[in-house]
Amino acid sequence: MDLFPVTKEERKQILKQYNVTEAEVEDGVKTIKIWKEKVQHLPTNITDDFIARVLLKNKFRVEHTKEKLDNYFTLRGQNQDLIYGLENIVPSKHLGLCMPMSKLTPNLERVVILKLLNTNSDIYDAEEYFKFIVAIAELSLQYDDSIGTRYIFDFEGFSLKHLVKFNPVLLAKLFTFIQVKIYSDIKPLYDIIPKECLPSEYGGSCRQWDEAFKNHKSFFIENYNNVALEHLRPEDMKTSDAFGPDGTFKKLTVD
């Protein structure tokens, strides 16, 4: 199963947009690997494909990518509660939907649909739903060669009773990842995301991801410990405006 399809033609368009060749991408990966060997606080098992995809999300800017890699693994270490137990998620049994679309937008972005499948607020678990979103994002970083991601929240059935399930810290972390623009009608959304890139219905569509999560149990378990080792961080790298004083998110943007 191809979790995040990107055609050969779309790949060519992406490289053309950033004016780079596959050889230049490989050179960028090599440069970052040399740097990574000098900073011992980062995980040793970062793959070339992962580095290449972070390069892509950062428009193939090498120095920017180094910063984002450092921020990514540091934030993982400071917020391991949000990546704990991802291997136990069964998408089709989840109360909420988190579904990447197979077709990219004309801007070569991936669309991810989020929606409540069960609107009963009494059994709604905001943290578990957030973990589901994080799990999909983790897989995206491993496999998706799209330029970026557009998250669409379908708020049908969502109420204040659901919102209060988000404690302030969790809500702050959620808005670290996203900028929310709300539409009262779906038609204006088509100006940004073409209708053909959106699903016609949701029923049963998440079951195909059950196998994907099952096949990636070991990945989620092993990846849990892929965090920055702060005791090995060089002194000149210990200040970053990406983190708050208590270790919670301040900002993490990939532009």
Domain ranges of the chain: 1-255
What lies within 8 Å, CB to CB, of 78 at 6+ separation is: 243, 247, 248
Side-chain half-sphere exposure of 73, counting CA atoms within 13 A: 25
Residue 20, CA distances (Å) to 56, 59, 67, 205 in order: 10, 10, 20, 36
Encoded amino acid at 99, one letter = M
State phi, psi for 46 to the nearest 5 degrees.
Answer: -75, 125
Question: Which has the closest alpha carbon to 207: 39, 61, 92?
Answer: 92
71 contacts 101 by C-beta, under 8 angstroms: no
Q: What is the pLDDT of residue 168?
A: 83
Looking up tokens 């109360």, which residue turns up? 95
Average per-residue pLDDT for the chain:
85
Give the residue carrying structure tokens 């808005």.
175
Is the model's pLDDT at 210 over the cut of 50? yes
pLDDT tens digits for range 27-81 = 999 999 999 999 999 999 999 999 999 999 999 999 999 999 999 999 899 889 8
Residue 243 confidence (pLDDT): 39
Lowest mean pLDDT among 34-38, 92-96, 176-180: 176-180
pLDDT of residue 248 exceeding 70: no
What is the spatial distance between Cα 35 and Cα 29, in angstroms, rounded to a whole number? 10
Share of the chain above pLDDT 70, in %: 86
Can you say whether the dihedral through the CA atoms of 140, 144, 146, 152 is positive or negative?
negative
**Quick check: 226 and 73 in contact, CB under 8 A?**
yes
User: At 1, is the pLDDT very low, low, confident or very high (cuts 50, 70, 90)?
Assistant: low
DSSP letter, residue 114: E
Per-residue confidence at 19, pLDDT binned at 50, 70, 90?
very high
Non-local CB neighbours of 229 within 8 Å, separated by 6+ positions: 40, 41, 42, 77
Task: Give the model confidence (pLDDT) of 137-168 as tens digits.
Answer: 999 999 999 999 988 888 889 998 998 888 88
Lowest mean pLDDT of 107-121, 174-188, 207-221, name the range.
174-188
Mind listing the pLDDT tens digit for each residue in 233-247? 987 776 444 433 333
